[in-house]
Structure formats: C-alpha cells, structure tokens
Amino acid sequence: MALIPTVQARAPQASPEPVRVQAEPDTGQLVRNILNSLDDAKAEDVLTIDLNGKTSLADAMIVATGRSTTHVSAIADRVIKGCKEAGYSTPRVEGLPHCDWVLVDAGDVIVHVFRPEVRQFYNLEKMWGGDRPAELKAERRA
C-alpha cells in the first residue's frame, strides 16, 4: 500500500487586530507648541530657522534668549513640559546644570535657549541663516 500525501484543512484564523500606532504630530504643530511655551515663559528674541534641505538633524531650529541662568532654566523647563503635555515624546536636554546654553532636542525641532552673552558669542543665526553662502562669496571678493 502506497502512502498518499494529504492536505489537511486548517480552521480559518481570525484576522489579527490592526495595530494602532499613534503618528507623530507634524513638525508645524510641534513648532507652534514650542513657540507657545517660549511665549509663556517670556523668552526674548525668539527666532525660528527652517532647516529643510540644510541638514538631516532636524526640520527646524528655534533660538531664544533668557535674561539670566534662572530664566534660561525656567524657559527650558516650560518647553519640556509643553512637549510632554502635547503628547510628544520627552525631549532630550543638555546644559541644564549651568544654564548658560540649554539645548532641548524635541526630535524634528531643536531648541537653543541662551543667556544674551552666550548667544552673541556662538551666533547660531549666522551659521544656519539662509544667506550664509552669499556672505562667504562676499568675504572672498574683499
């Protein structure tokens, strides 16, 4: 007697439940949320820099000034709290112990909060500004 392979019928399986993944809110909403937090904390000289096409680090950079180390700390804390309250992941933070320059990395948006002298020294606006290549050409001609 020869053995004949057979195919056993399987019971139909229920389709798995769809996995619900909460999409990250868009960058524009994150920027608005951070700007509101900066306004609440009375940050000064707030500047938003669009980084699209300049780097893959983030989509936007926000630079702000606090009047003192205490003010810089309070501004950074308010930005962190605002991100958490809006449902964004907890941002990574650097510089809180000294509060001369606090960097808040909220993923698609990077926030720099400076004391006035430190902001003037590093001058990030000039480094990341849109007209930077033109400035370099003008300096070479001089």
Domain containing residue 75: CATH number: 3.30.460.10
Structural domain total, the chain: 1
Q: What would the mean pLDDT of 51-76 be, rounded to a whole number?
A: 91
Average pLDDT over residues 7-19: 52
**What b-and-e string marks burial along 7-34, b requiring 16 or more CB atoms within 10 Å of the CB?**
eeeeeeeeeeeeeeeeeeeebeebbebb
Q: Is residue 17 part of a domain?
A: no
| Residue 16: inside a domain | no
The amino acid that residue 38 corresponds to is L
Secondary element (H or E) of residue 82: helix 69-85
Instruction: Indicate whether 36 belongs to any domain.
Output: yes
In the chain, % of residues over pLDDT 90: 49
Cβ atoms of 135 and 57 within 8 Å: the answer is no
Where in the sequence is the domain holding 51, given as residue range(s)? 27-131
In a domain, 63, yes or no: yes
Q: What is the pLDDT of residue 85?
A: 86
Q: What is the DSSP string of 9-74?
A: PPPPPPPPPPP--PPPPPHHHHHHHHHHHHHHTT-EEEEEEE-TTT-SS-SEEEEEE-SSHHHHHH
| Region of 118 on the Ramachandran plot (φ > 0 left; ψ -120 to 50 alpha; else beta) | alpha
pLDDT tens-digit map of 85-129 = 888 888 999 999 999 999 999 988 999 999 999 999 999 888 876
